[in-house]
Amino acid sequence: MSFNITEPSSRLRTTLGVLTLAILIATMLVAAGSASARGGGVGTDPGARNGDGNATPTKYHRLWDKVTRKDKRWANRVAHCESGKDPNAVALKGRYRGAFMFTRDAWKTSPKSPGGDPIDYSYRTQAVVAVHLKKRDGTRPWPVCG
């Protein structure tokens, strides 16, 4: 059995070239959109999304800027301990959610919580809620990592 492999026709080469170019352009557009989302622009969109697709409403940028360095370090340490700082983390069949492993009830009743599901929000939004919850309840919501 022998195969006769010939040079591709010019029509096939043109089609492959066009497809390659289309894939390259699509990849560049996706990369540009992702970089734009991570950059945050001017921050006027109340539902702005970060690179993970999570929302960071504008007010949480302002609230985060008001958090002390000590509380930011605490939030970073706790989030790393709880979830590896993953704002999309889910554990125990969905009972614990987000970077700080909030229960849905804790999230809904926390000071500064935007409501909904914590995994719909960015690390920064979750951290603001966690810091304000710590101010209200201490580290009780995080018995191991707090």
Model pLDDT for residues 36-45, shown as the tens digit of each residue = 343 333 333 4
pLDDT at 36: 38
pLDDT at 80: 97
pLDDT at 30: 56
Using CA of residue 38, residue 55, residue 120, residue 32, what is the dihedral sign?
A: negative
Domain ranges of the chain: 55-137
Residue 131: name the closest of 49, 65, 84 by CA.
65
Confidence of residue 50 (pLDDT cuts 50, 70, 90): low
Question: What is the rounded CA–CA span in Å between residue 91 and residue 93?
Answer: 6
Return mean pLDDT, the chain. 80
